[in-house]
Structure 1
Amino acid sequence: MEEIDKYYDRELSWLSFNKRVLMEAADENVPLYERVKFLAIYSSNLDEFFRVRVASIRSIVDIDKKKINKKFNKKYNSSPKEILEQIHEEVHEQQEEFGRIKREVIIPELKKEGVIFYRDEPIIEAHNAPAAHYFKSKILSYMQPVILTRPNSQTPYLNNKELYFAIILKNEHGEIEYAHLNIPTNELPRFVELPKTDGYYYYIAIDDIIRENLDFLFPNYKVLGAYSVKLNRDADLNIDDEYSGNLVKKIRKQIEKRNLGVPSRFLYDSDMPKELLQFLKDKFELDDDDVVAGGKYHNMHDLFQLPNPLKPKLENEPLETIRKHQLENSKSIFSAIDQGDVMLHFPYQSYDYVLRLFNEAALDPDVTEIKATFYRIAANSFISNALISAANNGKKVTVFVEIKARFDEKNNLIWAEKMEQAGITIIYSIPGLKVHAKVALITKKNKEGESVNYGYFSTGNFNEKTAEIYADEALLSKNESLTNELNNVFSYLKSQEEIPEFKELLVAQFNITDRFKSLVDQEIENVQAGKKGHIILKLNNLQDHIMIDKLYEASQAGVKVELIVRAICCIRAGVPGLSENITVRRIVDRYLEHSRCFYFYNNGNDLLYQGSADWMKRNLYRRIEVVFPILDPLLKSEIMKLLDIQLKDNVKACLLDSNLNNVRINDHQPKVHAQVDFHRWLEKKETSV
C-alpha cells in the first residue's frame, strides 16, 4: 500500500465527525428537542469549520506557491483546490440531509406535539396583528434597507456570520432593482412566540416576520422576492511574528480585525435567481469559490434558542449530579487529599468541588502560593475571582494565561488584566507555543511548618460553564514525584531558561512523543516475545502521522489497538496488512467527550495516563501539554471501568470503517449506553461508600 493512502484527510475526517452529529438529529430514539439541539450543534460546528479550516485552505489556494502545493500534495495526495472541492461536495450532501431532517422530520414531529414552528408557510390570520406589532415596535428600529442599484449607492459591509436579505424590487417605472436588508438576530431573539391558538404553541423566526412586512420598508416598490444570505470570514488571527514585539498588543489589534477577514463562504438561498447572484458577486467582489448554495434559512445554530413550552418533556431526563463522599465527608479538600489521591469525573460529579478547592486555598491561612494555567476562562469566572481573593489575602499567585486560545483571546485578556490589577503575577503566551495544559499547584504549610504541594491535573479547562457539558476527569494529588515535576513545569513557563527533566509526567516539548513511542514499542516487543499486547487510546483528535505510523506498526506486530476518537481521525482502521488489529469508535451523546486517556497493558503491569494532549501535530510539537499517570490502583480501576463501558457502547458509539464512515453497532449484545451507564455505575459506587 502506498504511504499516502495510509492517512485520511484531516478536513474530510472532521466532516465525518459533523455527519455523526447530524445522525443524532435524525435518531428517533433521541428526545425531540435534543435533536433540535444537535441540528444547532451541527450548524455551529460547520460555521467555525468554514471560518478557520476552509479559510486556511483557501489562503493556500490563493497563494498558489509550488513549494506549498507540493508539500500539500505529498501529505494528502490531493491539491489544495481538489481538497476544497471535496469539502464543498461533502458539505452540500450534508446540508441537503440537514434540510431534509429539519423539514420532513423535526417540524412535523413538533407539530404532533402541539408546537408549530412556522417554516415556508404564510402565518394564520390570528397572528398577523401580533407579528406586525412586533415588527413595528421591536424589529423596525434595527432596519437598515439599502437600494443597491441606485446610482452611487454605497456598498454595505457584510459582517461576519450575520444574516441579510437580498431583495428583488420592481419600481414604479417597471424596472428591476436590488436591495440589501439586515436581519438583526444579534440584537433580537431569532424566534418569537406568537399567541397560542387552537391548542398549539406557535413560534416564528424574525426572518419571516420581516418577509411579511417588506412592503412597509419599500412602500414605492413591488417586492418580487427576498433571499437570505450570510458571509463567513477568515477568523484566524494572523500574528506576523510571534517572536518579537508586544504579543499582547498584536493580539488585541488582531481581535479588532477578526470580523474584517477575507470571505471564506458566501452562503445564499439556492432559490435565488442567477441574475441576482451574479449581481451580488460583482457588488461584493466575491469569487466563484466563495459562493455556496444553501437553504432558505441560515445560522441554524440559533435553534439553541427555540423555546420548549412543554419542558421538561421532549428533552433528556437529567442525570443527577453525583456527590463525592470522599470530599463531602472531609473538613476540607486538602484534608481529603491528605488521605489519598482524589479523582473527579465531570459533569457526572459537580465542578463545584474545583471551585471549593480554589476558594479554600484563597482563605486558608496556611496556603502560601497558588499557580495555575488558564486556556479558556469562563466569562463569569468564579476561579479567577477566587484567585483575586487569594492575592488580596496576601498569598503569592501566579497565573499563566494563554491569550492565543482561538475565539477566547478577548475574554482571556480581560481576566488577565483584572487579575494583574489585583496583584497576581500574570505570565502571557510563550512566543511560538500555546500552553494547553490544565494544571494548578497549591503550596500549603503543614502542622510541622513544612511546605506541601497539592497538584490539580485535568483533561479539561478551568471553565465552570463548559464543565457542565464536557466529559472530563481531574486528579487531585499531593504525590511528591508528580507535584515536584509540576512545579518544574511552572518554573519553565515563568523563565523558559532551564530545560526540566520529567520522569512521571509526559510534557510536550520535552518527552511526550518519545515516551508515547517507547510505550507502544514495549507492547510490540511483548507481542513479539509471545506475550499479550494491548493499547487503548481515547482522544478528541488523532492526526499526527508519526504516531499513526507507530500504531500501524503495533497492529502489524499483532498488538490489539482500540481507539475512541471523537472528531478528527486520520488513521484508517481495519485495512488488511496495515491496520487489521485497529478499531476506532466515535461516541456522540448528551455530553461532549473531551478527556484523553492512554492505556498500555505492559505485560500485566498496566500503565494508565490522562491529560490535555491529543495526538495532533499542534498538541505534540507546538504546545505545552501535561499528561499525568494514574498511580492509585482504585482510581486506575475507575478510569478502566469508564473505558470498558465506552468500548462496549452499542447505543451511542459508531465504528469508523477504513473510509471513516460512521457505522452503527449492531452486535446483538445487551444495550450499553456509555454515558448513562457510567453515571449509574459511579452513582452506585458512591452510594455504597
Structure 2
Amino acid sequence: MSKTKLSKDNYLNRELSWIGFNERVLAIALNQKTPLLEQAKFSAIFSNNLDEFFMVRVASLKSQVEAGITKRSEDNQTPKEQLINIRKHLEPLLKKQQSHYKNNLISSYINEKIFLLEYKDLNDRQRTWVDNYFQTAIFPVLTPLAVDPAHPFPFVSNLSLNIAALIRDPETGKEQFARVKVPGRTMDRFITIPNDLSGIDPNPIYNAIPIEQIVAFNLHMLFPGMKVEQHSFFRVTRDADLELRDLEADDLMIALEEGLRKRRIGGEVVRLEVSKDIPVTILELLMEGMAVEEADLYHIDGLLGLDDLQALLKIDMPVLKYPQQRGQTHKLLKSSQRGLLEDGSIKQEEFKSIFSIIKKQDLLLHHPFDLFSTSVEEFINQSAEDPQVMGIKMTLYRVSKDSKIIEALIRAAENGKQVMALVELKARFDEDNNIQWAKQLEKSGVHVVYGVLGLKTHTKIALVIRKEKERLRSYFHIGTGNYNSKTSKLYTDLGLLSVNPELGQDLIELFNYLTGFSKQQTFRKLLVAPVTLRKGMEALIRREIKFAKNGKTGKIRAKMNSLVDPNIINLLYEASEAGVQIELIIRGMCCLYPQRNGLSENIKVISVIGRYLEHSRVFWFHNDGNSEVFIGSADWMRRNLDRRVEAVTPIEDKNLKEELSQLLDIYLNDNCNSWEMNKDGIFIQQKSQDKEKSAQNLLIHTNKK
C-alpha cells in the first residue's frame, strides 16, 4: 500500500465536485458561442442532471441525517454539513440559469421570430384560442383536489408540476386550499399557438406558451361559483433510489417492478421548488402538508422544471443548432456493409463478411465519429444470420427503446443459435425498460440472466462463437459505452473488435463467471472488476513510480468520467512526488487536487465538455518506452473497482496504441471546450490564445477525410 496522504485538505468532496461538473454543463448554455437552441438543450441537461442528483445523492445524505449517521466523508464532512454546502453551491447556479432563460434566451429568440409567451403577453385572438384549447384539450383531464377535514392533503408525485390555489366561497367568505396537477407525460410542456394569430410579428416561426400558464389562468373553470384568490406553481422531487436485497433472478424482477411503481410515486420529499412570488399562506400549507423543511425549499425566480426546454430542439431552425453531423463507416468496414453506403453501394462481388475483416486485424471504433450502426450493430446483425455462427453472448446495461441489437438477438435465437443476454435489471432509471426487454428476449428463446448476486454488471462485452474449418473461433467486441443506438450518436465511446485468442478465452470465462457459479480469480489479459481490475491498475501505477525513482521516465495519461477512489488518488499523489508526469482528462467528478506543491505538482487535470458527452475511458502507461494502453467500462471509482462487474482490455496492436495516444493528445490540446483544474479544485475554462482547437470538431473533420 502507498503512504497515507489523504486528509480533508487534499480530497475534494465528491458531491461538490459533481456540482462543479454540472456547472460546466450550464456554462455551455450560458456561452454566447453556443447556438441558441443548443443553449436551451444544455440548460435542460443541467436541470435533468440536478433532478437525478437530488433523487439519489441528496436523498441518500438526507436518509443518513434522519438515521442519525454522523460518519464523515473523505474530506471530513458529516452528511448534514454536506447538505448545507450543496445548497450553498447550488443557489447561485440556479439564479444564473433562470437569469439566462429570462434575460438572454427569450429576447434572443424574439430576434429569430421565436416567441415563448406568458399568458399576459397574449393578444385577444391568441387568448381566445388558448382559452378554447384549455376547454377542449386540457380541462377534461384535470382533477382539482381540495384540502379540508374530509379531504387530506393530496399526494404529490415525483417531479410533477402543480398549481396550488386558494379558493374563496363568495357566500360564506371561507377560504380553501386546492391543488391541480399539470398534465405531464401525456401533453407537451410548451403548447404551440397558430402563427396566424400573432400580432407581434407578421411572420413568426414559432409561438408557444407553457401549459401551466394556460391552466393557471383558467382555474375559475375548475371551481365554478368560487373565486380564485391566489395561485402559485410548485414542483416536488422525491427519493427515487431503489432499495434492493440480493435476491434470486425471478424475485429480483418482482422486487424491481414493485420498486418502480413506488418510484413513480416517489419516496420522501427531498426538494420543494416554488415560484419566487408564492403567497406565504400557500407556502405554509404546502410545507405543512408535505412535511418539508426550510432546508429543502427552493424559491425559483422563473419557470419551474427547465428540463422541458429540451422540447425546443424540435423547432425546425437548423441555423440555431449545431451543424448536423453524421458519423462515417469505419474505413476498414466499408466492404462489409450490405446495401447502400454514404459513398455509394457495394457490389455483391466486393462484399466481405465482417468476420473476414476482423480476422485480419484488430479494429478500434470511436463513436459517434465511426457509425455504431455499420460497426457494432452490423457485427451482431451478421452474427444473427451467418450460418457458421454457433452462439452469441452479450451484456446489456442501457438499451434504446427501439434496439436493433435486441431485434438481432431475437432473430439469432429464431435461427437456432445459442443466444445469451445478460440484462442488468438494476441500471438506474433504465430498470423498467430493461425488464420489458428481458421478458421479450425470454419469450423469443434467448437465455436471459441477471448477473452476479450482489454486483451490478456494467461491463460492455459481446462474444460471438463461429465454427471455421472444424474449429471454433471467438470474435468479440469490448467497449466503453452501452449497446444503445441512441446514445451512440450523443456520447463519445471506444470499442475493440478482435479475434485475439487469449482475450477471447478470457471473455468465455468471464461469461461463465456471470452466468454460473465460477469463482474465476485470474484472467490472461483482461482486467476484470471486482477480481483483478483494482490490483491491476494499482500495479501499473506503481510500475511508473518505480521507473521514475530509478531515474527513468514515468508517465501516466488517463481519460475517464470520474476519479473518486481514495486509494487510486493516494497512489497518484505518491506517483507525482516520485516524479511521474500525470495528465488526466476527467469529464465529471474529480476528488484529486492537482498542482499542489509537495503533493501533486506533476499532475494536470482537464475536463472537456462539448456537444457530445465524453464517455470513453482510456488508460495509458509509458512503461519505459513500451507503452501499455487499455480501454474499458470502468472509472476510477470505488463502485467500478469493487462493487461492479467491469472489463478493461489492453490494446496491443501498435497502430491502435498510437491512435489512442494521438487521441489523448487531441483532448489535452483542446482550448475551446476544455477546463483546467487549479490547486484549489476549481476548473478554469481555457481560452484560445491563437487558433481554436476543439477536440470534438477536429475528430469530426478528421473522420470525414
Q: Same fold (TM over 0.5)?
A: yes
d(CA) in 1 for partners of 2:178, 2:261 = 29
Counterpart in the other structure of 1:203: 208
Q: Structure 1: how far apart are the matches of 2:313 and 2:126?
A: 18
Deviation at 1:177, TM superposition (A): 2.8
Deviation digits for residues 121-167 of structure 1 (CA, Å, limit 9, x no counterpart)? 4322231111112111111111111232x441232211111110111
Measured in 1, the distance between the counterparts of 2:245 and 2:506 equals 34
SS of 2:9's equivalent? helix
1:193 match: 192
The question of whether the paired residues in 1 share the 8 Å contact of 2:41 and 2:313 is answered with: no
Specify which of 435, 450, 456 is matched with residue 413 of structure 1: 435
Give matches, 1:39-50, under 5 Å.
39-50=43-54
Say which of 366, 376, 383 aligns to 2:388: 366
Higher mean Cα deviation, 126-135 or 474-483? 126-135
Structure 1 equivalent of residue 134 of structure 2: 135
Q: C-alpha distance in 2, partners of 1:138/1:426?
A: 43
Contact 1:488–1:500 (8 Å) recurs in 2: no
Residue 299 of structure 1 pairs with residue 274 of structure 2: no
In structure 2, what residue type is equivalent to 1:491? N
Secondary structure of the residue that 2:524 maps to in structure 1?
coil
Paired residues of 1:33 and 1:308 also in contact (CA < 8 A): no
Match of 1:630 among 638, 644, 651: 651
CA distance in 1, matches of 2:638, 2:238: 25
Offset of residue 171 of structure 1: 2.8
Distance of 1:509 and 1:282 partners within structure 2: 46
- Supply the AA of the counterpart residue of 2:229: L
Of 269, 272, 291, the match for 1:266:
272
Q: Does the 8 Å CA contact 1:437/1:625 hold for their aligned counterparts? A: yes
Structure-2 residue corresponding to 1:687: none
Aligned to 1:9: 13
What CA distance in whole angstroms lies between the structure 2 residues aligned with 1:557 and 1:335? Answer: 47
Partner of 2:342: none
Q: Distance in 2 between matches of 1:519 and 1:585?
A: 22
Deviation at 1:222, TM superposition (A): 3.0
> In 1, distance between residues paired with 2:112 and 2:248?
58
Other-structure match for 1:288: 294
User: Are 2:548 and 1:527 aligned?
Assistant: yes
* Counterpart for residue 167 of structure 1: 165
Report the equivalent of 1:31: 35
Instruction: Output the CA distance in 1 between the equivalents of 2:177 and 2:569.
Output: 53
Q: Hey, what's the Cα distance between the residues in 1 that align with 2:245 and 2:295?
A: 26
CA distance in 2, matches of 1:241, 1:661: 39
Alignment of 1:439 onto 2:439: no
- 2:333 paired with 1:327: yes
Alignment CA distance shift 1:329-1:455 (3 Å): same
Residue-by-residue CA offset, 1:433-475 (whole Å, 9 max, x unaligned)? 01111001101011x2211100111001111111110110111
Counterpart in the other structure of 2:519:
498
3-state SS of the aligned residue for 2:318?
coil
Tell me by how many angstroms 1:682 deviates.
2.5
Give the alignment of 1:139-288 within 5 angstroms.
Answer: 139-148=138-147, 150-172=148-170, 173-196=172-195, 197=198, 198-200=202-204, 201-242=206-247, 246-258=251-263, 259-288=265-294
Which amino acid letter does the alignment assign opposite residue 169 of structure 2? N
Task: State the Cα distance separating 1:325 from its structure 2 match.
Answer: 2.5
Structure 2 equivalent of residue 645 of structure 1: 666
Q: Over aligned residues, Cα RMSD in angstroms?
A: 1.7
SS of the residue 2:208 aligns to: strand
**Distance change in 2, residues 1:651/1:667 (3 Å):** closer
Residue type of the alignment partner of 2:443: Q
Residue 124 in structure 1 maps to residue 117 in structure 2: no
SS in 1 for 2:509: helix
CA distance in 2, matches of 1:442, 1:424: 14
- Deviating more after overlay: 345-354 vs 241-250: 241-250
The verdict on how the C-alpha distance between 1:266 and 1:628 changes in structure 2, with shifts beyond 3 A counting, is: same
SS in 1 for 2:523: coil
Q: Work out whether residues 119 and 209 of structure 2, in 8 Å CA contact, stay in contact via their aligned partners in 1.
A: no
Whether contact under 8 Å (2:452, 2:515) holds in the other structure is: no
Name the count of aligned residue pairs.
677
Q: Secondary structure at the match of 1:246?
A: helix
Distance in 2 of aligned mates of 1:133 and 1:463: 42
Equivalences for residues 326-405 of structure 1 within 5 A:
326-330=332-336, 331-352=352-373, 353-405=375-427
Contact 2:10 / 2:75 at 8 angstroms: preserved in 1? Answer: no
* Paired letter, 1:220: G
Q: Distance in 1 between matches of 2:73 and 2:636?
A: 20
Secondary structure, counterpart of 1:576 in structure 2? coil
8 Å CA contact 1:227–1:296 kept in 2: the answer is: no
Is 1:543–1:615's contact at 8 Å kept on the other side of the alignment? yes
Change (3 A) 1:557 1:307: closer
Q: What's the CA shift string for 1:94-146, capped at 9, x where partnerless?
A: 11111111111111111111111114843222311111121111111111112
Q: Distance in 2 between the 1:532 and 1:224 partners?
A: 74
Asked if structure 2 preserves the Cα contact closer than 8 Å seen for 1:228 and 1:297, the reply is no
Match of 1:77 in 2: 76
1:87 counterpart residue number = 86
Q: Aligned partners of 2:49 and 2:516: how far apart in 1?
A: 37
The yes-or-no answer on 1:668 pairing with 2:689 is: yes
Amino acid at match of 1:629: P
Pick from 10, 16, 22: which aligns with 2:26? 22
Distance 1:271 1:433, change over 3 A: same
Identity %: 36
Aligned partner of 1:606 in structure 2 is 627
Separation of aligned partners in 2, 1:84 and 1:367: 54
Cα distance in 2 for partners of 1:126, 1:538 equals 56
| Aligned positions of 1:579-590 closer than 5 A | 579-590=600-611
Question: Is contact 2:119-2:217 (8 Å) kept?
Answer: no
1:683 corresponding residue in structure 2: 704
**What is the CA-CA distance between 1:256 and the residue it aligns to?**
1.8
Out of 571, 588, 591, the residue aligned to residue 612 of structure 2 is: 591
Residues 631-666 of structure 1, C-alpha deviation per residue, up to 9 Å, x if partnerless? 112222222222111100000011122333231113
* Partner Cα separation in structure 2 for residue 530 and residue 307 of structure 1: 55
Gaps of 5+ in 1: 685-689
- 8 Å contact 1:168–1:223 — kept in the other structure? yes
Whole-Å Cα distance in 2 between the matches of residues 19 and 25 of structure 1? 10
Within the alignment, does 1:450 sit opposite 2:471 as a pair? yes
Distance in 2, Cα, partners of 1:76 & 1:522:
28
Structure-1 residue corresponding to 2:324: 318
CA shift in 2, pair 1:122/1:667, >3 Å: closer
CA distance in 2, matches of 1:329, 1:295: 57
Change (3 A) 1:277 1:16: same
Equivalents in 1 of 2:314, 2:502: separation in Å?
51
Matched, 1:484 2:482: no
- 1:555 corresponds to which of 552, 576, 580: 576
Letter in 2 for 1:28: Q
**In structure 1, the residue corresponding to 2:319 is in which secondary structure?**
coil
Give the Cα–Cα distance (whole angstroms) in 1 for the partners of residues 543 and 377 of structure 2: 40
